[in-house]
Chain A
Amino acid sequence: MTSSGAVSVSVGASVSGTEGTLEADKISGKSENTYILRPVFQQRFRPSVVKDCIHAVLKEELATSEYSPEETPLLTKRLSETIKDKLKAMGFDRYKMVVQVVIGEQRGEGVFMAARCFWDADTDNYIHDVFMNDSLFCVVAAFGCFYY
């Protein structure tokens, strides 16, 4: 049965950051440059690599899943944690990642999802991936912001 209002949405978000150098500065007491304006070339946030990773995770986890109101919140949380850990393991140094996972039930409703960011376009980037099957759709958005 479809009703326009009966949509259950699970939203999970997780934030992580790296702030190691600040501590070191406080201890030494000197004021030296702790910022770098550009990431190391090899460690830029590369969307293609990240997309592959996200895609693999989605395919693995959601291949046979169906939407259920009880399990889906946990599923989103698990997914976002997994993706975040994988991204951290990829070695993007000094990047802050935000991973947002949205899973919704497909009951014929229309969905439009958009995002806009205020960032430095040279160093920061994002990637998104969509997974759909008969019962659910899943949108994953990963944003990588460089910590100067």
Chain B
Amino acid sequence: MLSHRNVEHRNQGGSSKRDGTGGQHAEDVVRSSGKDKDSRRKEIEKEDIDLENVDYMANFEDDFEDYEDDFEVCDDDSTNEPEPREKMEELPPARKKEIQEIQNAINAENERIGELSSKLFQKQGRPEREREPGADANSSPSRAPVCGIFVDFATASQRQKSRTQALKQKTRSTKLLRLIDLDFSFTFSFLDLPPVNEYDMYIRNFGRKNTKQAYVQCNEGTVERDIQTEEMETREAWTQHPGEGAAVSGGSESREPSDAAAVPKVDTLRLSSFLRAACQVVAVLLEEDRVAAAPSRDPGAQDSTLPLSDSAWQLNTSLPFLQHRNVSSLHASPAQRQVVSVHGLPDQACAPPLDRRHLLCVWDIWQPSGPQKVLVCESQVTCCCLSPFKAFLLFAGTVHGSVIVWDLREDSRMHRYVKLSDCFWTFRTATFSTDGVLTPVNHRSPLQAIEPVAASGHRKQSFVLSPFSAQEEMSGLSFHIASLDESGVLNVWVVVELPKADLAGSISDLGLIPGGRIKLVHSSVTRLSDSLSHKGDGRWGAAQTLNVKFLPSDPNHFIVGTNMGFVGHGSRQDLRVFPRFFKPQQHGERPVKVTAVDFSPFGEPAFLAGCCDGSIRLHQLASERPVLQWGLGTAGRAVTGLQWSPTRPAVFFVQDDTSCIYIWDLLKSDLGPVAKQPISPDRLVAMAVVGEPERTSGGFLALVLARASGHMDVQFLKRKWATPVADEQRRLRLLLQKAL
């Protein structure tokens, strides 16, 4: 029945088109208007097709052409009719009623929306009527006779309006489509729900019957669990290139304390130089403490404290390179407490690099464990001296007539290392030597004395215009070196410090060690033999010069000890000086060597001269004859050493060749020594006096003694010899004036 119904619909639709009838046509149009639809499955399908077909009237006609032929007129084809009718009869009455109801509902609905689509229907109806005006032969009476011959003005004007509108729209769309590009979009998937089969649903709810959700817990994912991984420390930092503005990098300001221990910037050069200096000082201090605290190292040694001294200690001469060597001389630095000991060749075989070398050791008396510096020299050293104010240069004169300089400041890496008994020792070679170079001006005979000539006499009195620049004075090089040889040639050398050390060596200065900075330049020469030979009647030959000393207050003046018993007086500028000679009280010439001369270090223009016949003379520069002379002070033994005390103006020390030490105190007695100390059994070879002149009270006075066995010890003299009495200098002056 239903199928018949549908076919009828179609049929009617088709026929209505042809005939121009309204009702069923309206029906169709309703269905195809696309507004609300009834929910009938088969009808929906067909109505969809109808919807599409509403604008394609030709299709419509083509599709149902056949049907029309079949079912157009009920009485045309009688064969089909009984079938639908039979079908109608076959249906039960309840069904019939249902169908009837549905039909009524459809009709009612159609009428309801009939007005809405009347326009549409008329529009569509008109062209149909125009096309087939006479095809209304079989119009059923149920169709509403809307057709006719009347002119429908309303529709005409409506059509006109709609046509212009359509035209406008068409032009607009053509214009726009040129500017816009439309295309297909992606396929959007809205919902993808896979089918759930019954078993899954069953299982999902299995075992949960009779239960009710009682409790919901959210956030069950954050279960507390111990984690082994450590917290990562992060710090944010950023940088930008090219930078905009002032800040080109940055980061989070808060820093962890662990990484806030910023490494301080270290100036390694300064640090190393500081350490070098500081280590030395600390070593000395430690040693002082040790020596002071510990008992003397060699309690059974023969050179324990002399009766003259309060305390004493030994310098460690048992070092491998000092063994079997004799000490030939000692020299003490007047400014600092360094002592230089000159050692000769070893008696026994020694390590190859050292067995033919002479050694000089620079000691600090407060550090007896070993020398501070060890210097090597190829030729025998006859005399030496340290630079006056800052003892960083050591000058030595050799038996070959050469002057040698060691720069003690040099880096020890420049020199040779020798490993002796598991310890590395640095043996320093000379920085500059006049050996073989500067031959025209060099000495040709063994050097007898080498002395520094200071710029201005007293350090404190510097209103004398000094020939040295301020820089030289600051660097401690404001002095010349004077060297005297046997034949009376007095050379004065200038000490030059090169600004930069050249490790490759110098082409012009052949005597300079590669990497050295100190060199000597010959300044002037004075031939003393001429001036000295005027004196005397030539019976004994030319006088030999033995030593030279410069007046501390005026370095232009110097005195020269000769082997004829007199002391010559000279001046560097070759001016006439008076007196030219300082003779002993006895008249006449005697071949007595003046073995030692020494100026008073306290500024007095007086000097002492000791001779090999045991006589000691005290001269004042103004007069030829001595102020005081002692002939028997040493009981006739030759004076080998003579030195004023650096702490007390009226005290001096004498050493004679029988290994005795004499102490003279002019304020106590001007007739002879006030103390005498024989040194035995280890005979005394050389003696040097070390003291601190600046510290008037609490200063020390020490004698450094070198023994024949090669041992050296430092004797700290008793207080009475060390500490000056009140007003000593004035009293001494008075004494000297009285004696004149």
Contacts and interface: CB of A to CB of B under 8 A. Distances in A.
- Indicate the member of A117, A128, A137, A139 with the most B CB atoms within 10 Å: A117
Given A34-B172, A35-B175, A148-B176, A118 B184 contact: yes
Nearest to A125: B185
Given A37-B180, A118-B183, A25 B168 contact: yes
Given A112-B189, A118-B185, A37 B197 contact: no
Contact of B191 (A116, A121, A139, A148): A139
B190 A128 contact: yes
Contact of B189 (A2, A35, A113): A113
A141 interface: yes
A111 B175 CA distance: 42
Given A35-B176, A118-B182, A112 B193 contact: yes
Given A108-B195, A112-B193, A120-B182, A35 B187 contact: no
B150 interface: no
A91 to B, nearest CB: 23
B186 interface: yes
Contacts of B198: 2, 108
A95 to B, nearest CB: 15
Nearest to A100: B190
A130 B189 CA distance: 11
A68 to B, nearest CB: 15
A128 B191 CA distance: 9
B152 interface: no
Contacts of B195: 108-110
Interface in A10-38: 22, 25-26, 34-35, 37
A92 interface: no
Contacts of B186: 116
Contacts of A110: 193-196
A40 interface: no
A93 B188 CA distance: 25
A6 interface: no
Nearest to A130: B191
Interface string A38-66: 00000000000000000000000000000
Contacts of A113: 189-192
B260 interface: no
Nearest to B197: A108
B180 A120 contact: yes
A67 interface: no
A51 B172 CA distance: 33
Given A108-B195, A110-B195, A115 B190 contact: yes
Contacts of B184: 116-118
B201 interface: yes
Contacts, number: 77
A46 B184 CA distance: 20
A137 B188 contact: no
A128 to B, nearest CB: 5
B172 A35 contact: yes
A114 to B, nearest CB: 5
Contacts of A115: 187-188, 190
Contacts of A22: 165, 168
A58 B189 CA distance: 19
A45 to B, nearest CB: 13
B185 A119 contact: yes
B532 to A, nearest CB: 118
Contacts of A2: 198
A116 B181 CA distance: 17
A137 B180 contact: no
Interface in A119-141: 119-121, 126, 128, 130, 137, 139, 141
B547 to A, nearest CB: 111
A5 to B, nearest CB: 10
Contacts of A128: 188, 190
Interface string B682-725: 00000000000000000000000000000000000000000000
A121 B193 CA distance: 28
27 contacts: A25-B168, A26-B164, A34-B172, A35-B172, A35-B176, A109-B193, A109-B196, A111-B191, A111-B193, A113-B192, A114-B189, A114-B190, A116-B187, A117-B184, A118-B182, A118-B184, A118-B185, A119-B183, A119-B185, A120-B180, A126-B188, A128-B188, A130-B190, A137-B191, A137-B193, A139-B190, A141-B190
Given A26-B165, A116-B185, 9 more contacts: A35-B175, A37-B179, A108-B195, A109-B196, A113-B191, A117-B185, A119-B185, A120-B183, A137-B191
Interface of A: 2, 22, 25-26, 34-35, 37, 108-121, 126, 128, 130, 137, 139, 141, 148
